[in-house]
Amino acid sequence: MITFIPRDKVSKNWIIIAPILSIVFTIFFGLLIFTFLGYNPLETLYQIFVSPFSRIDRISDILVKACPLIIIGTGLMLCFKSNVWNIGAEGQFIMGALLAGFIALSFPNIETKFFLLITISAGFVGGALWAFIPAILKTKLNVNEILVSLMLVYVAMLFIDFIVRGPLRDPMSFGFPLSKPYPEGALINKIPFPGIGFLGQLHYGILFVFLLVPVAWIFVNKTLGGFKINVLGSAPQAAKFAGFKRNSIIITVLLLSGGLAGVAGVIEVSANIGQLQPEVSFGYGFTAIIVAFLGRLSPVGILFAGIIIATVKLGADNAQMTMGIPKVVTGLFEGILLFFLLTGETLQKYKIKWSEGK
Amino acid sequence: MEALILTIIATSIPLLLAATGELIAEKSGILNLGVEGMMLSGAVGALGAVLWLENPYYGIIAGALSGVLMASIFSVFTINFMTNQVATGLGLTIFATGLTGLAGAPLVGKTIPSLPKIEIFLLADIPIIGSILFKQDFVAYLSIAIIIFISFFLKYSKSGIILRAVGDDHQSAHSVGYPVKKIRWYASCFGGMCAGIGGAYIPLVLTPHWSEGMTAGRGWIALALVVFASWIPWRIIVGALIFGGITIAQLVGQARGWPIPSQLLSMMPYLATIIALTMISGRLSKNNSVVPSSLGKPFFGSQ
Amino acid sequence: MIKFCTRIFSLIALSISVLFFVISSAFAGSPTKVGFVYLTTPGDHGWTYAHELGKQMVEKRFGKDIKVSVVENVPEGPDATRVIRELAKQGNEIIFTTSFGYMEPTLKVAKEFPNVKFEHITGYKRSKNVATGNIRFYEGRYIQGVVAGLMTKTNKIGYIGAYPIAEVIMGINAFAQGLKSVNKDASISVIWANTWYDPVKEADAAKVHIAEGADVLAQHTDSPAMLQIAEKNGAMGFGQSTDMSAFAPKAQLFASINNWGPYYIKKIEELRNGKWNTGDGPNHWPGNVWGGIKSDMLVISKFQNMPANVAQKAQEALDGIKSGKINIFAGPLIDNTGKEIIPAGKALDDGALWGMNYYLQGVNGKVPG
């Protein structure tokens, strides 16, 4: 019989060991599953975990894929830290992209890249507004934010679908649901490397990530706002005694996470698609939840977690191309990884004790 | 009209079952966001079993077992390893979507016999009502039976009262000597069983073949229904029928040429859920006793 | 200890797999490498499955002379760009991208790989190394209309559309033209599923159509769910993209089958002979290849579950389209608000088909959007 005994303080060792150990366990289970399914397990592992790093342009593709995950994940981190369960980032991503797209398409001839500041801000506003709905319902009427934010994902998906097939449809698209292409000023360009040219899709949007991660780190660790969020999440009673306004914290974290999801939406569309289409997000909002947890709700962790998840996604594509393994295996990996990771979190707070009998 | 009502009922049954199971789990303090995943495994399990054993009734059993299996994974992590329930539930859905995609691959392209309708002697001959209420399949009757059973179970049986006590305040329940973890395990597995049967209903009755992710978000609706019903079993029937009704109404509206964009009609069920949640939560905040107070909180005690 | 073993194990695993990889690529022969990008999995039994059948014909025809790579479930967006580029980098010489949404990604990658040939299915933009191919799906729908008009007893036809885009609307209108040619009293109701693929939703839509009195159903979505519902409720319907009679042996009247194989084979053959080209049609619809019944890209499965006289009428319609005697969109065409689209003696050209945003007579309601 196993029992758990609380540790006096969170184990420092486990903070490092737990994520590594969970990856090792995940790989082990992955080996078992692939062997069982009749695939060469070693080659599969090579394709999923190593092949994405085998060429410089593949590595840059990892960064491109990780970019929205890290941005959304950082926003979700704030929510989850304060025990606010925003699982509607997918919808906030879409609404951010949509509002920014609307503004971009309203100025069809603009060329200056300063315009991006406007569209990115619009994306923030769009995402934040969408997150404001669960925020206000939760704080004023005590409505469960998990369900509201999730329902709003479906509403957002249908809404962008309606807009792109109706009001914003390009008349020259032969009835196909595409908006006009964005003006030059609303596009995020690929980064040219001297002597090499472009590396895959690597674009300037990635710079936002390198800006965001340190800012988020300072906010969480060095400011009063970050402190309040931590306290509200880990010790709600203490937060109450300290006089922190619970409602305003909840609204703030939801607005921030919605806004960041919206910004991710703008960057994704402006850099990689260049026009609005019915589908602009591809589950980034949901995958980012895992990224936030895998990153142990810390900005630097989320940076790495985003890269790991992006690697698995690209690796699964490679495994499919070379070995014909169905792409759904990524879900399997993400799920198992999350399970072990969460277990690791428990081990941080508790010691295991083996006891005889009951 | 009769045919429309039958369609609404059929659409509602998976929701009804999954929501009922989740209700019991939540009453014990377990918030399992993996309903979608458990329904998917139920669907794939049922299909596999029917293809193998060639009898649709085995599909129900297989669906239930697959759901329980998924719920057990969830329980090991959340109850024994005390992981965060929200994250684990999300993980379960992602995991099960992947697993069922792999497991379902060989089932693609195969079709199975549907569950037969069972006519209840004499009652089935009553005009209109007879064919709506008494000419249903086994799972439809089963789901109503489960609802009636758990209504009584929660209210009048000793085990039901213990279950609620565990969900309301696990510390006191533990100090009185109830095995909190064991009870949560049972409740969680019951939830998995119901979700599994609900998922099995989709290939067994609605569309008799397998396709990846075929539950298409119904598990999440089931979660909303539990709140919508404010944890009172019979209200799940009402909620499921309303939801099924709106889903069908927007299709009828299109067939009859109502001049509303179809996307906006498709939004209706989701918006309706939000509105219903808002209306109910306003009442809940005044009368907090319906919400299991330990919902979603891990229990750290040893036993 | 366990951790140590795992570490050693994974190290060995990695080195072996690297070695394996190097050796296998060194000994690769010189078959033509062909890539396919699928929107979903062949498990949809519809659109992607039809492409999968085409791919299988290719494999059968060329055997060891080609090496095929397939990527399934590729969303239409940045992922598509990356996957297509990856296929090009891996040395595929011709890449078929099999969904409309791959248009821009295909063009983008094609610019980076001028020596690789790209075949975009259902698109309208071409470039030096991007060709487009499409099927005149609407021709099959005309025949469906003829059969539906003769088979319906309630004079109500239920139609399930995916999205209100020109391609689908043109199908509905072609269906209406066929319907009108044999039965002036019947009319079509349309339900938009707003998805290409959601079996439960498609099934619900089919049930609603039946409840509303329709006895013949048609679909422009991908799963066999509609036919299964028709089968259970004694209604009739048509198979979409592939022969779906396995799902509905009593309900399927016939299926319009997308036959991509010969097109793929032709293009790969051209590539191997150094004769691959993008055709010289104008740079807009109908594209360089828009084949229908005549060119065997659209195949009508056997007529079943219908009386001999109906099958004969259907055969006549099929022959008429094949010989060019029947022009589906010949004037006078009047839309369902009474407006004349084109007078007698004229016919819509291909460009006009892709601008359709109205219903012809015989269809109820109004095109959304």
Does residue A327 belong to the interface with chain C, where contact is any CB pair within 8 Å?
Answer: yes
Model confidence band, residue B303 (pLDDT cutoffs 50, 70, 90): very low
Per the omega criterion (within 30 degrees of 0), is the bond before A183 cis? no
Among the residue ranges A10-24, B78-92, C89-103, the one predicted with the least confidence is A10-24
The pLDDT score that the predictor gives to residue B216 is 79
User: How many residue pairs from chains A and C have C-beta atoms closer than 8 A?
Assistant: 116
pLDDT-above-90 percentage for chain B: 40
Residue C16 lies in a domain: no
| Residues C326 and C243 both lie in one domain | yes
The pLDDT score that the predictor gives to residue A358 is 42
- CA quadruple A201, A205, A211, A213: dihedral sign: negative
Given a cut of 90, whether residue B192 has pLDDT beyond it is yes
Among the residue ranges A132-146, B31-45, B189-203, the one predicted with the least confidence is A132-146
| Residues C166 and C250 both lie in one domain | yes
Environment class of A26 (CB within 10 Å of its CB; exposed 0-12, middle 13-18, buried 19+):
buried
Measured between CA atoms, the residue of chain B closest to residue C156 is B255
The pLDDT score that the predictor gives to residue A12 is 73
CA–CA distance, A231 with A346 (Å, rounded to integer): 19
The pLDDT score that the predictor gives to residue C285 is 47
| Residues C171 and C319 both lie in one domain | yes
The three-class DSSP label of residue C259 is: coil
Residue C24 lies in a domain: no
Does residue B94 belong to the interface with chain A, where contact is any CB pair within 8 Å?
Answer: yes
Q: Which CATH number fits domain B2-290: 1.10.20, 1.20.120, 1.20.1300, 1.10.3470?
A: 1.10.3470
Compute the average pLDDT of residues B77-91: 87
As for how many domains chain C has, the answer is 2
**Interface subset of A 279-298, CB within 8 angstroms of C:** 279-280, 282
Kindly report the nearest CA distance between residue B188 and chain A, in angstroms.
17
Kindly report the nearest CA distance between residue A270 and chain B, in angstroms.
25
Domain ranges of chain B: 2-290
Neighbours of A107 (CB within 10 A): 15
| Residues C222 and C337 both lie in one domain | yes
| Residues C169 and C192 both lie in one domain | yes
Residue C253 lies in a domain: yes
Kindly report the nearest CA distance between residue C112 and chain A, in angstroms.
10
CA–CA distance, B84 with A5 (Å, rounded to integer): 17
Does residue B266 belong to the interface with chain C, where contact is any CB pair within 8 Å?
Answer: yes
- CA quadruple A289, A291, A296, A300: dihedral sign: negative
The pLDDT score that the predictor gives to residue C290 is 83
pTM score: 0.83
Residue from C210, C220, C158, C148 nearest C180 by CA: C148
| Residues C217 and C339 both lie in one domain | yes
Residue for token pair 């709700």 = A297
User: Which tens digits make up the pLDDT trace of C207-256?
Assistant: 999 999 999 999 999 888 999 999 988 999 999 888 888 888 999 999 99
Residue C157 lies in a domain: yes
CA–CA distance, B89 with B91 (Å, rounded to integer): 5
Residue for token pair 């990846």 = B212
Inter-chain residue contact A61 with C163, CB threshold 8 Å: no
Does residue A17 belong to the interface with chain C, where contact is any CB pair within 8 Å?
Answer: no
| Residues C117 and C142 both lie in one domain | no
Q: Which residue has the higher pLDDT, B64 or C270?
A: B64
Kindly report the nearest CA distance between residue A166 and chain C, in angstroms.
5
The pLDDT score that the predictor gives to residue B132 is 77
User: Which tens digits make up the pLDDT trace of C51-79?
Assistant: 999 999 999 999 889 999 898 888 888 88
Best C1, C39, C163 residue to mutate vs chain A (most A CBs within 10 Å): C163
Asked if residue C312 lies in contact with residue C149, where contact means CB atoms within 8 angstroms, the answer is: no
| Residues C194 and C281 both lie in one domain | no
CA–CA distance, A251 with A260 (Å, rounded to integer): 14
Compute the average pLDDT of residues B89-104: 88
Among the residue ranges A240-244, C12-16, C160-164, the one predicted with the least confidence is C12-16
The pLDDT score that the predictor gives to residue C17 is 52
H/E element, A284: helix A284-294
The pLDDT score that the predictor gives to residue A19 is 75
Q: Which residues in chain B touch residue A37, judged by CB atoms under 8 angstroms apart?
A: 102
Given a cut of 70, whether residue C5 has pLDDT beyond it is no
Q: What CATH number is associated with residue C157?
A: 3.40.50.2300
Residue C22 lies in a domain: no
The pLDDT score that the predictor gives to residue C120 is 93
User: Which tens digits make up the pLDDT trace of C36-47?
Assistant: 999 888 877 788
Residue C14 lies in a domain: no
The pLDDT score that the predictor gives to residue A294 is 83
Number of H helices and E strands in chain A, helices first, is: 13, 4
Environment class of A99 (CB within 10 Å of its CB; exposed 0-12, middle 13-18, buried 19+):
buried
Compute the average pLDDT of residues B141-154: 94
Of C78, C100, C169, the CB nearest to A273: C78
pLDDT by 10s per residue, chain A, length 358: 566 777 767 667 777 777 788 888 888 888 888 888 788 888 888 888 899 998 888 899 999 999 999 999 999 999 999 988 898 999 999 999 999 999 999 999 888 999 999 999 999 999 999 999 999 999 988 888 888 898 899 899 989 988 988 888 887 776 678 889 999 999 998 888 887 778 878 899 999 999 999 999 999 999 988 888 888 888 878 888 888 888 899 999 999 999 999 999 999 999 988 899 888 887 899 889 889 988 888 999 999 999 988 998 888 888 887 887 777 777 888 888 888 888 887 777 777 766 654 4
Distances (CA, A) of A48 to A61, A88, A200, A323, A327: 14, 28, 19, 11, 11
Q: Between the ranges A291-305, B57-71, B84-98, C353-367, where is the mean pLDDT highest? A: B57-71
The pLDDT score that the predictor gives to residue B255 is 85
- Cα-atom radius of gyration of chain A, to the nearest Å? 22
User: Which tens digits make up the pLDDT trace of B243-255?
Assistant: 888 888 888 888 8
Q: Which residue has the higher pLDDT, B132 or B96?
A: B96
CA–CA distance, C346 with A113 (Å, rounded to integer): 50
Of C16, C69, C73, the CB nearest to A42: C16
Q: Which residues in chain C touch residue B247, judged by CB atoms under 8 angstroms apart?
A: 204
Does residue B210 belong to the interface with chain C, where contact is any CB pair within 8 Å?
Answer: yes
Model confidence band, residue C259 (pLDDT cutoffs 50, 70, 90): very high
Does residue C72 belong to the interface with chain B, where contact is any CB pair within 8 Å?
Answer: no
Measured between CA atoms, the residue of chain B closest to residue C244 is B109
Among the residue ranges A269-283, B149-163, C313-327, the one predicted with the least confidence is A269-283
List the subunits that have 3+ CB pairs under 8 angstroms with B.
A, C
pLDDT-above-70 percentage for chain C: 89
Residue C153 lies in a domain: yes
Compute the average pLDDT of residues C334-338: 91
pLDDT-above-70 percentage for chain B: 95
| Residues C56 and C72 both lie in one domain | yes
The three-class DSSP label of residue C187 is: strand
Domain range for C66 is 30-135+260-291
- Half-sphere exposure of residue C157: CA atoms within 13 angstroms, side-chain side: 32
Model confidence band, residue C286 (pLDDT cutoffs 50, 70, 90): very low
Residue C4 lies in a domain: no
**Interface subset of C 186-205, CB within 8 angstroms of B:** 189-192, 194, 197-205
Best A139, A158, A164 residue to mutate vs chain B (most B CBs within 10 Å): A158
Asked if residue B233 lies in contact with residue B147, where contact means CB atoms within 8 angstroms, the answer is: yes
List the subunits that have 3+ CB pairs under 8 angstroms with C.
A, B
Kindly report the nearest CA distance between residue B200 and chain C, in angstroms.
13
Given a cut of 90, whether residue C117 has pLDDT beyond it is yes
